[in-house]
Amino acid sequence: MNTAATTADRPAVRIRGLEKAFGDLSVLKGVDLDVPSGTIYALLGSNGAGKTTAIRILATLLRADAGTVEVQGQDAATAAARVREAISLTGQFAAVDEVLTGRENLILVGRLRHVAEPGAVADGLLARFSLTDAGGRRVATYSGGMRRRLDIAMSLIGEPPVVLLDEPTTGLDPQARIEVWDAVRELARGGTTILLTTQYLDEAEQLADRIAILHEGRIIAEGTLDDLKRRFPPARVEYVEKQPTLEEIFLAIVGGKDTP
């Protein structure tokens, strides 16, 4: 067996038959998902669809009731410590210390993760996310977009191969969202695998290499944006063909409104 080829072909994240309930409320009902290495993969769904629950199981913060979750070939249930070494999780709200400067936040995380030369690592990340000029300022003075960019930069310390972004632009204004999108693209250019959850359809449309739609605890559609568009016939006007937006595709698939 060619081990190198097998490792290269293996998805960064592999989920099979994932189930989770809270009391009588069944949140995940048999989710299957493969996230190819080096891609931006969007898990799209409305509030309550189960996106954050899936992310928390992936991050070993919750135990699944049934099914398997693997990250970089490691089982989240039986090898949780190795999974935690392979991932970084950025939640819905920036986990930064407002009293410290941006650079101090990065250095602190670098020391906690025992990286060599945390100051140099911090400076490199500030430059990578266009925060060098703000690096010496207290985070309390940062805009929402700057805080999220810093938060994402912090998630890269230790160079985890897989980054989980759980609704990273929640509550941000349009300009701040664009700043975060640029940061996510920068991650992808560096070869990081990104699993992004979002309820913003334009976010998935702008960023994702592949998209899965999670609805009422199940994956009901998956593929590239072009794959999903082929499932949704374009509306036609007399001389103009209108390509459907991802919003129209999503609502048609989950039954939110009639197709045009």
**Taking 60 as the threshold, does the pLDDT of residue 23 lie above it?**
yes
Q: Does residue 230 sit within a domain?
A: no
Band the pLDDT of 66: cuts 50, 70, 90.
very high
Query: Residue 98: which domain range?
Result: 11-223
What's 35's domain CATH number?
A: 3.40.50.300
Query: What is the pLDDT of the chain when averaged over all its residues?
Result: 87
pLDDT digits (tens, 9 = 90+) for 201-229: 889 999 999 999 999 999 999 999 999 88
> Residue 175 is which amino acid?
Q
Q: Does residue 246 sit within a domain?
A: no
Distance between CA 177 and CA 201 in Å, rounded?
A: 13
In the structure encoding, which two tokens stand for residue 125, read together? 């990340």
pLDDT for 139: 94
Three-state DSSP state, 239: coil
Q: Does residue 89 sit within a domain?
A: yes
Helix (H) or strand (E) holding 206: helix 201-207
What's the rounded mean pLDDT across residues 147-166? 89
Distance between CA 47 and CA 22 in Å, rounded?
A: 16
**Taking 90 as the threshold, does the pLDDT of residue 149 lie above it?**
no
Q: Does residue 255 sit within a domain?
A: no
Q: Does residue 6 sit within a domain?
A: no
Domain count for the chain: 1
Helix (H) or strand (E) holding 253: helix 246-254
pLDDT for 6: 45
- Please give the torsion angle defined by the CA atoms of residues 36, 76, 93 and 27, in that order, rounded to the nearest 10 degrees: 90
What's the rounded mean pLDDT across residues 141-169? 88
Q: Does residue 51 sit within a domain?
A: yes
Phi and psi angles of residue 67, each rounded to the nearest 5 degrees, phi first: 95, 175
